[in-house]
Amino acid sequence: MTLHIHDSDISINETKYWLLLGQLIALLDTGRFDELNIEDVKLHARGGAISVLLGEVFQRTTAFNVFTEDDWKSFNEEIARMANATDPPQKITVTNRGIALLMTWALEGARRQI
């Protein structure tokens, strides 16, 4: 996937969340991750270790080489905040599919960078 950004108002961090979302959509399209356990996703996210889960999921993909260790640390921290949110406006309510929850967090991460 190639992401072309022409709007100088879009931050680098926002771009990285859009790239993450695009890769998750590509995985969804394969059908191999339809049964990604939502409880495993939540457990990794709440513990600040979403990068561990994503590393396992994307181990056969080279597209994630664009992310630095700082990017993964940032994803871990931001997604942990989303996963642990208890306030209704911030709480993500996807309840059935782990891949959908990951996609929702990536979209919310991009929105938070605006």
Return the CATH number at 52: 1.20.120
Domain-embedded: residue 70: yes
The reply to whether 33 falls in a domain is: yes
pLDDT at 62 > cutoff 70: no
pLDDT value of position 38 = 93
How many structural domains are present in the chain? 1
Kindly compute the dihedral angle of the four CA atoms of residues 47, 48, 52, 55, in this order, to the nearest 10 degrees. 140
Q: Is there a domain that residue 7 lies in?
A: no
Higher-confidence residue of 14 and 59: namely: 14
> Domain span at residue 35?
12-112
Question: Does a structural domain hold residue 1?
Answer: no
Q: Which of 111, 114, 110, 101 is nearest to 16 (CA)?
A: 110
Query: What pLDDT, on a 0 to 100 scale, did the predictor assign at position 68?
Result: 87
Q: Is residue 100 part of a domain?
A: yes
**Distance in angstroms (rounded) separating the CA atoms of residues 12 and 51:** 19
- The residue with greater pLDDT, 89 or 105, is 105
Residue 85: pLDDT band by 50, 70, 90 thresholds? Answer: confident
| Of 102 and 63, the one with more pLDDT | 102
Residues 50-70 have a mean pLDDT of 81
* 108 within domain boundaries: yes
Is 46 within a domain? yes
**In-domain check, residue 67:** yes
